[in-house]
């Protein structure tokens, strides 16, 4: 496993979210951290408990995936399911939410749909609203679209099918 320094340009990042008592809430990985963080802020049910986060960079996707798996297995974050779907983990989650007076979070959340992710695995995203369907159609037509409605970013597909970010 090759962890690299903060001044590296590697996009592969492992992140951890903690509550105010430094309990590990969630561990994840991303090559587009700003986007992933925004998705968590907007839709993760555990974000109400989040007080801080850390980020580590890795040289390769394989190194990142190995580090994520190991971190989840050893640190046992409260809200991760992948690599952490055991009866003990479910009980830790229930106890944590009971202490916080938030057992309502054990109820199913918004309907999620699975979409292929870059690299290995599947990304779960909320079902698209009519507005998001229109934005998706515009994106697929090569138009510039708002990345996060009401936010400061626009995203446009370039001729090489790469993503280009621009501030509004």
Sorted by where each starts, the structural domains of the chain and their CATH numbers stand as 3-127 (3.40.1440.10), 128-168 (no CATH)
- What's the half-sphere exposure (Cβ side, CA atoms, 13 Å) at 46? 25
User: Is residue 161 predicted with pLDDT exceeding 90?
Assistant: no
16: pLDDT strictly greater than 90: yes
Residues with Cβ within 8 Å of residue 19, at least 6 apart in sequence? 25, 49, 50, 51
Give the pLDDT confidence score for residue 79 in this predicted structure.
Answer: 94
Percent of the chain with pLDDT over 70: 64
CA 108, CA 63: separation in Å to the nearest integer?
33
**Sign (positive or negative) of CA dihedral 41, 88, 21, 63:** negative
Measured CA to CA, the distance from residue 3 to residue 76 in angstroms comes to 21
Bridging pattern class, strands 24-30 and 52-58 = unpaired
């Amino acid at each position: 496993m090759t962890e690299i320094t903060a001044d590296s340009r590697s996009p592969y990042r492992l992140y951890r979210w903690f509550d105010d008592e430094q309990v590990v809430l969630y561990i994840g990985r991303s090559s587009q951290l700003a986007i992933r963080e925004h998705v968590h802020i907007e839709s993760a049910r555990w974000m109400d408990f989040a007080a801080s986060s850390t980020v580590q960079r890795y040289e390769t996707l394989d190194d990142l995936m190995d580090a994520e798996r190991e971190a989840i297995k050893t640190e046992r974050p409260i809200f991760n399911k992948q690599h952490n779907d055991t009866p003990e983990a479910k009980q830790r989650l229930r106890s944590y939410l009971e202490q916080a007076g938030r057992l309502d979070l054990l109820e199913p959340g918004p309907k999620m749909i699975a979409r292929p992710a870059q690299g290995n695995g599947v990304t779960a995203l909320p079902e698209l609203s009519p507005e998001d369907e229109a934005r998706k159609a515009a994106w697929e037509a090569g138009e510039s679209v708002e990345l996060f409605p009401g936010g400061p970013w626009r995203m446009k597909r370039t001729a090489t099918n790469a993503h280009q970010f621009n501030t509004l």
